[in-house]
Structure 1
Amino acid sequence: MTNNPLQSLRFVKSRPLTGDDQKALYYIHDRVAQTLTEILSAEPTSAASWQVISVEQQSFQQVLRKYPRDSVWSLLGFGESLVGGVALVIEKESVISMVRQAGAEIAPESENEITEFELGQIDNRIQQFSEAFSTVWGEFHPLSLQLATFPNTPTIDEFRNLLMGINPDTPSVLITFQVTMIARDVQKAALVFPQPYLAPLYHALQNVLESTREEADFEQVQERITMVDDVTTPVIVELGKTRMSFSDIQNMEFNDFIVLEQAIDRPLTVKVGKDTLMKGMPGTTSDGRHLAVQITES
């Protein structure tokens, strides 16, 4: 693992990100994904297809809440040539799926943990991601990346020490990649790009958008962006939770009630995948035929 701390980075202000900015970021990081896929294809054991599936804006605090504490984070500082840096984050389960060899002998107590060997393996993958990132972004601005990888999510104070000026409200771009490997579950990784550090690169985003309009594959890129917008995902509304003994469960009968911890005047939790994104109050549709939730917090 890389343990050298990154040089502290000076903070700069940012302007709001436009829709064209997001499209340009999609295009650039789709190229990063393609480049990384080519790099990984050189080794059959690590071959994987990377693809951008979403580009969205969130506050830095929202990003931190999105990922479990035991996620692996790698901070890629831009070095002397440019203010700022980005972070690549991969959940622990995804790390294990990406690097654990089939049939590997793992002690039962370590089955759900990342071994030192696997930490080294994922660090190598992150180095390869860094290479692809530098190759593509280097066409617009020379980068000399400094890499620091953490086996657990740094605290906001630790982030401040590494990315000067970062605070919970800092607007950030979250670029999510889908990682597909042979005979393994599809996994995800995400790149966190604090918007203040995009400021010196806004001209590059504009140039990218203009150049892609002249390329034959621009319509295909636009179509892929539109497809991402149209992708559906399961939305789960939690009515409530409780705990019961096995004997109580076994003795449940028709017309018995299960009392939940959820108070009737408290909003319900709305989840997208594993993440809590909203809260709302229960109700019904206007025709009374379906249950519904009115969003009260997001």
Structure 2
Amino acid sequence: MEEILSQNEIDVLLSAITSGEMDAEELKKEEEEKKIRVYDFKRALRFSKDQIRSISRIHENYARMLTTFLSSHLRTYVHIAVTSVDQVPYEEFVRSISSLTVLNLYSMSPLKGNLLIEVNPNVAYALLDRTLGGKGTTVSKTDSLTEIEVILLKQIFEKATYNLKEAWSTLIEVEPVLEEFEENPQFIQMVAPNDTVVVVSMSAAIGETTGMINLCIPHTLLEPIIPKLSAHYWMDNTAAEPDENAYRKLSNNLQTAEVDVRAILGETTISINEFLKLQSNDIIALNQQIENPLLLTVNEEPKFYVQAGKQKRKIAVQVLEEIKKGVNAHE
């Protein structure tokens, strides 16, 4: 929508052009320059801000589940949180990570393509140290991981695939499988260098060690489910009809739930002094008229008007009327 100027603003503008303070030709030139935007075809933005927010929301859930899993598995303090979600060319992502790192390549059936999780060496070594009974401190290593270290790390990342599956289940049911484990990013070529990927960066703290975990998700992997990343899908999905079986189970469980039911014979107020002087056979007058029905409460909420009586030699009450909200109680 174009900006509408007030009469005051129009007068000031005309006055500035007449006096020579502003040049009309320069204004036209500036307006034309604003219409031109630089676009880098090598860095094509294939996802909208709305879709990026949806991806971020999914992986915030993943970060929470991964935190819980690693905390219980390693029995130490672990905190993982999403710090940023960006879309970049694949070659830019490869250049941004260390030449010696830990790379896990997952297939995401039924989706075509792979998802890459890059774990900073500091975090990987802390995982190893804690798994082997250490305090979770990192070590400075310049050489490759040993075969035993690779096996131990692969076991951790394979167990963690369940968290990835659960996080993505709000979008699509996938079966993540760890296909490759590498240390050099040059050995893994998922997509063409100029292809767009979404990079989800997460900060990880294990004990006193901190580092980054990056998820690289190619556009080709997400392409079939891009419509599901829109806010409209999430809203429609939230407003969907409840599952019939779940509704039936919930209804049955509610029917067997126990509640506290009380029939109130009446109430009154006395002083502490009167209360302390109470003796056997003393009479306390209640505020309840004998001809009026009693109040029946359910979990302290007024629900029915009842009258007292007996049922099979037991004290009982008979329901007379349901109390509707907004209707005054009987006097």
Same fold (TM over 0.5): yes
1:151 and 2:182 correspond = yes
After superposition, the Cα gap between the structure-2 partners of 1:154 and 1:175, relative to the gap in structure 1 and judged at 3 Å, is same
After superposition, the Cα gap between the structure-2 partners of 1:207 and 1:213, relative to the gap in structure 1 and judged at 3 Å, is same
Per-residue CA deviation, residues 91-130 of structure 1 (Å, 9 max, x unaligned), is 32331133224759xxx99686534333233223322332
Task: Say which SS state the counterpart of residue 42 (structure 1) adopts.
Answer: helix
2:98 is matched with which residue?
68
Q: Return the alpha-carbon distance in structure 1 between the equivalents of residues 209 and 85 of structure 2.
A: 22
> Is the 2:227–2:233 contact (alpha carbons within 8 Å) kept by the matching residues of 1?
no
Q: Return the alpha-carbon distance in structure 2 between the equivalents of residues 38 and 25 of structure 1.
A: 20
> Is the 1:58–1:174 contact (alpha carbons within 8 Å) kept by the matching residues of 2?
yes
Corresponding letter in the other structure for 1:17: F
Q: Among 206, 214, 220, which residue is 2:230 paired with?
A: 206
Q: Return the alpha-carbon distance in structure 1 between the equivalents of residues 71 and 101 of structure 2.
A: 25
Per-residue CA deviation, residues 170-212 of structure 1 (Å, 9 max, x unaligned), is 1011101111222x22211100001121111212212587449
After TM superposition, give the deviation of residue 70 of structure 1 in Å.
1.6
Q: What TM-score do the two structures reach when normalised by structure 2? A: 0.51
Task: Say which SS state the counterpart of residue 217 (structure 2) adopts.
Answer: strand
1:54 is matched with which residue?
84
After TM superposition, give the deviation of residue 39 of structure 1 in Å.
2.0
After superposition, the Cα gap between the structure-2 partners of 1:23 and 1:139, relative to the gap in structure 1 and judged at 3 Å, is closer
After TM superposition, give the deviation of residue 47 of structure 1 in Å.
5.3
**Runs of 4+ in structure 1 over 4 Å off:** 108-113, 212-215
1:127-166 matches, cutoff 5 A: 127-155=158-186, 158-159=188-189, 163=190, 166=191
Task: Say which SS state the counterpart of residue 178 (structure 2) adopts.
Answer: strand
Identity across the alignment (%): 17
> Is the 1:179–1:187 contact (alpha carbons within 8 Å) kept by the matching residues of 2?
yes
2:60 is matched with which residue?
30
Per-residue CA deviation, residues 17-53 of structure 1 (Å, 9 max, x unaligned), is 1111111111000001111222223234465222111
1:253 is matched with which residue?
none
TM-align CA RMSD: 3.1
Larger of the two Rg values belongs to structure: 2
Give the unaligned 5+ runs of structure 2. Answer: 1-43, 240-331
After TM superposition, give the deviation of residue 71 of structure 1 in Å.
1.2
Q: Return the alpha-carbon distance in structure 1 between the equivalents of residues 93 and 193 of structure 2.
A: 9
Corresponding letter in the other structure for 1:83: K
After superposition, the Cα gap between the structure-2 partners of 1:132 and 1:212, relative to the gap in structure 1 and judged at 3 Å, is farther
1:228 is matched with which residue?
none
Q: Return the alpha-carbon distance in structure 2 between the equivalents of residues 214 and 146 of structure 1.
A: 29
1:188 and 2:188 correspond = no
1:167 is matched with which residue?
192
| Larger relative contact order, structure 1 or 2 (CA cutoff 8 Å, min sep 6) | 1
Q: Return the alpha-carbon distance in structure 1 between the equivalents of residues 219 and 192 of structure 2.
A: 12
1:82 and 2:111 correspond = yes
> Is the 2:60–2:82 contact (alpha carbons within 8 Å) kept by the matching residues of 1?
yes
Q: Among 179, 188, 202, which residue is 1:177 paired with?
A: 202
1:197 and 2:221 correspond = yes
> Is the 1:96–1:118 contact (alpha carbons within 8 Å) kept by the matching residues of 2?
no
> Is the 2:126–2:206 contact (alpha carbons within 8 Å) kept by the matching residues of 1?
no
After TM superposition, give the deviation of residue 155 of structure 1 in Å.
3.0
After superposition, the Cα gap between the structure-2 partners of 1:50 and 1:110, relative to the gap in structure 1 and judged at 3 Å, is closer
Per-residue CA deviation, residues 141-179 of structure 1 (Å, 9 max, x unaligned), is 2212231232322436x52xxx4xx11001011101111
> Is the 1:49–1:179 contact (alpha carbons within 8 Å) kept by the matching residues of 2?
yes
Q: Return the alpha-carbon distance in structure 2 between the equivalents of residues 172 and 100 of structure 1.
A: 32
1:186-265 matches, cutoff 5 A: 186-206=210-230, 210-211=234-235
Q: Return the alpha-carbon distance in structure 2 between the equivalents of residues 209 and 78 of structure 1.
A: 21
Number of aligned positions between the proteins: 191
> Is the 1:49–1:181 contact (alpha carbons within 8 Å) kept by the matching residues of 2?
yes
Q: Return the alpha-carbon distance in structure 1 between the equivalents of residues 196 and 209 of structure 2.
A: 31
Q: What TM-score do the two structures reach when normalised by structure 1? A: 0.56
> Is the 2:87–2:197 contact (alpha carbons within 8 Å) kept by the matching residues of 1?
yes
